Amino acid sequence: MSGWTIGIIGGSGLYDVEGIEGGQWVEVSSPWGIPSDECFVGHVGHVKLVFLPRHGRGHRISPSDLNVRANIDVLKRLGVTDVLAVSSVGGLTEERAPGTFTIADQFIDRTKGRPSSFFGEGMVAHVSMADPVCPRLSALVRDAAIAAGAEVHDGGTYLAMEGPQFSTRAESHLYRSWGCHIIGMTAMPEAKLAREAELPYALVGMVTDYDCWREGEEAVDVATVIAQLGANADKARKMVMHLLRNLPEERPASPIDTCLDYALITAPHARDPHLLAKLDAVAGRALNK
């Protein structure tokens, strides 16, 4: 593989960055349904950028209603090689204070009822999620965040809750007892589906609040989150541009690029042609070997 095409999933303000050349909105259809929005496609030097507003422009889609399969599928159809997720999160430890960034390296999935796989009856696959992020991409993002002036925590466990309501105090204390560092509503099944699509994935959690575990701290509300979002967004834009401008021209191969080679289990004669057709983008490389 030669060049980079970085897919960025995040808030609407991240594409509005000075320095992106040839930017335009592109509509891509998916057999998995309607994605959150069109994709903003451009380039920064030798790096192609594909940006997808996770909740749609104007933040109109709830975390529980996101069509994550369609979102990952359209990124794959646009040639994305690596995915950076930028997410607002709550801090579950004292040092993960509002305004800090966490480069997540583990997840606990507490979501309910969200389609979490491209595979199923007629084409079964089991990918490994032991190490759910790409360490190479995560290191590059960490360095970019530091260069952008953010206080960065390298590593941390992200608790993915269903939402859209915020946690109860009992839940917040429970998640802290599990060793979780940050909490949000969107990383799952996003990270799982990116792995099934053979896309190296990294996540930056931008802390907006302390959830509701902290003694003497007001419970989190939307006003608190929005107030911190503006301060975080400027650093996030700088982080993205620093990452794109400093990637090497040649993209080194990642083991995640071929992870389906060890995941497909259904015998060729038993595979469902209808499901195989839907998998053309996310799994076509492995299925057509």
Q: How does the average pLDDT of the chain come out, rounded?
A: 94
Q: How far apart are CA 31 and CA 14, in angstroms?
A: 27
Q: How many residues does the chain have?
A: 289
- Predicted local distance difference test score (pLDDT) of residue 6: 98
**Residues 124-156 pLDDT 10s:** 999 999 999 999 999 999 999 999 999 999 999
**Residues 33-90 pLDDT 10s:** 999 999 999 999 999 999 999 999 999 999 999 999 999 999 999 999 999 999 999 9
Q: Tell me which amino acid residue 221 is.
A: D
| Percent of all residues in the chain with a pLDDT value above 70, rounded to a whole number | 97
Residue 109 pLDDT more than 90?
Answer: yes
The DSSP line for 175-213 is: HHHTT--EEESSHHHHHHHHHHTT--EEEEEEEEE-TTT
pLDDT bucket at 19, cuts 50 / 70 / 90: confident
How large is the average pLDDT for residues 23-31? Answer: 96
Of 199, 67, 69, nearest in space to 132 by CA:
199
Range list of H helices, the chain: 68-77, 135-147, 169-177, 187-196, 222-246, 273-278, 284-287
Q: How far apart are CA 181 and CA 198, in angstroms?
A: 27
Instruction: List the domain boundaries for the chain.
Output: 5-287
Q: Which of 37, 105, 211, 257 is catalytic?
A: 211
- Predicted local distance difference test score (pLDDT) of residue 13: 62
Where is average pLDDT lowest: 64-73, 98-107, 190-199, 209-218?
A: 209-218
What architecture (CATH level 2) is domain 5-287?
3-Layer(aba) Sandwich (3.40)
How large is the average pLDDT for residues 179-202? Answer: 98
**Residues 115-127 pLDDT 10s:** 999 999 999 999 9
Tell how far CA 140 is from the center of its chain. 15
* Paired tokens of 209: 């609040």
209 catalytic, yes or no?
A: yes
Q: How far apart are CA 281 and CA 289, in angstroms?
A: 14
pLDDT bucket at 289, cuts 50 / 70 / 90: confident
Q: How far apart are the first and last CA of the chain?
A: 17
* Paired tokens of 154: 């390298």
| Percent of all residues in the chain with a pLDDT value above 90, rounded to a whole number | 87
- Predicted local distance difference test score (pLDDT) of residue 253: 93
Residue 226 pLDDT more than 60?
Answer: yes
Q: Which of 16, 209, 257, 272 is catalytic?
A: 209
Residue 31 pLDDT more than 90?
Answer: yes
Residue 1 pLDDT more than 60?
Answer: no
- Predicted local distance difference test score (pLDDT) of residue 12: 60
Q: How far apart are CA 70 and CA 75, in angstroms?
A: 9
Bond from prior residue into 268 cis (ω within 30 degrees of 0):
no
**Residues 255-268 pLDDT 10s:** 999 999 999 999 99
- Predicted local distance difference test score (pLDDT) of residue 11: 77
Q: How far apart are CA 45 and CA 55, in angstroms?
A: 28
- Predicted local distance difference test score (pLDDT) of residue 15: 66
Bridge partners (DSSP) listed for residue 120: 123
What is the phi-psi region of residue 60: left when phi exceeds 0, alpha when psi lies from -120 to 50, beta otherwise?
A: alpha
pTM (2 decimals)?
A: 0.95
Three-state SS across 82-123?
Answer: EEEEEEEEEECCCCCCCCCEEEECEEEEECCCCCCCCCECCE
How large is the average pLDDT for residues 16-45? Answer: 93
- Predicted local distance difference test score (pLDDT) of residue 18: 76
Tell how far CA 213 is from the center of its chain. 25
Q: How far apart are CA 107 and CA 221, in angstroms?
A: 24
Strands 82-91 and 201-209: parallel
How large is the average pLDDT for residues 170-199? Answer: 98
